[in-house]
Structure 1
Amino acid sequence: MAERKYETALVTGASSGLGRGLALWFARRGTRVFAAARRKDHLQTLAEEARAAGGTVEPVEMDISRTDETIARIQRIDADCGGLELVVANAGVGHNTNGKRFDWERVKQVLDVNVQGTAATLGAVLPQMVERKRGHLVGISSIAAFRGLPRNAAYSGSKAFLAIFLESLRVDLRGTGVRVTCIHPGFVRTEMTAPNKHPMPFMLEPEDAAERMGRAILRGVPVFSFPWQTRAAMGVAQALPNAVFDPLMRKLR
Structure 2
Amino acid sequence: MHYRTALVTGASSGLGRGLALWLARRGTRVFAAARRQEPLQALAQEAQAAGATLEPLDMDVARAEETVARIRQLDADCGGLDLVIANAGVGGETSGKRFPWERTKQMIDINVTGAAATLSAVLPQMVERGRGHLVGVSSLAAFRGMPTHAAYSASKIFLSTFLESLRVDLRNTGVRVTCIYPGFVKSEMTANNRFPMPFLLETEDAVERMGRAIVRGAPVFAFPWPTARFAQLVHSLPDALFDSLAGRLL
TM-score band by shorter chain is: over 0.9
Q: Which residue of 1 aligns with 2:28?
A: 31
CA distance in structure 2 between the partners assigned to 1:53 and 1:198 by the alignment = 38
CA distance in structure 2 between the partners assigned to 1:152 and 1:124 by the alignment = 28
Shift of 1:216: 0.3
1:136 paired residue among 133, 138, 144 = 133
CA distance in structure 2 between the partners assigned to 1:161 and 1:202 by the alignment = 25
- Measured on the aligned residues, the alpha-carbon RMSD in Å equals 0.6
Q: Which residue of 2 aligns with 1:44?
A: 41
1:123 paired residue among 120, 123, 144 = 120
| Structure 1: gaps spanning 5 or more residues | none
CA distance in structure 2 between the partners assigned to 1:145 and 1:82 by the alignment = 35
* 1:206 matches 2:203: yes
The alignment covers a number of residue pairs equal to 250
| Structure 2: gaps spanning 5 or more residues | none
Letter in 2 for 1:181: T
Q: Which residue of 2 aligns with 1:149?
A: 146
Q: Percent identity?
A: 70
CA distance in structure 1 between the partners assigned to 2:203 and 2:195 by the alignment = 19
2:98 paired residue among 97, 101, 105 = 101
Q: Which residue of 2 aligns with 1:245?
A: 242
Q: Which residue of 1 aligns with 2:14?
A: 17
Q: Which residue of 2 aligns with 1:74?
A: 71
Q: What SS does structure 1 have at the residue aligned with 2:110?
A: helix
CA distance in structure 2 between the partners assigned to 1:77 and 1:220 by the alignment = 23
Shift of 1:78: 0.5
Shift of 1:239: 1.7
Q: Which residue of 1 aligns with 2:183?
A: 186
Q: What SS does structure 2 have at the residue aligned with 1:252?
A: coil
* 1:91 matches 2:100: no
1:233 paired residue among 196, 221, 230 = 230
Letter in 2 for 1:112: D
CA distance in structure 2 between the partners assigned to 1:205 and 1:49 by the alignment = 19
TM-score by length of 2: 0.99
* 1:216 matches 2:223: no
CA distance in structure 2 between the partners assigned to 1:22 and 1:77 by the alignment = 19
Provide, for residues 150-208 of structure 1, a one-character-per-residue CA deviation record: whole Å limited to 9, x for no partner: 11100000000000000000111101100000000000000000011111010111111
Write out the 4+ residue segments of structure 1 that deviate beyond 2 Å after TM superposition.
Answer: none
Letter in 2 for 1:11: V
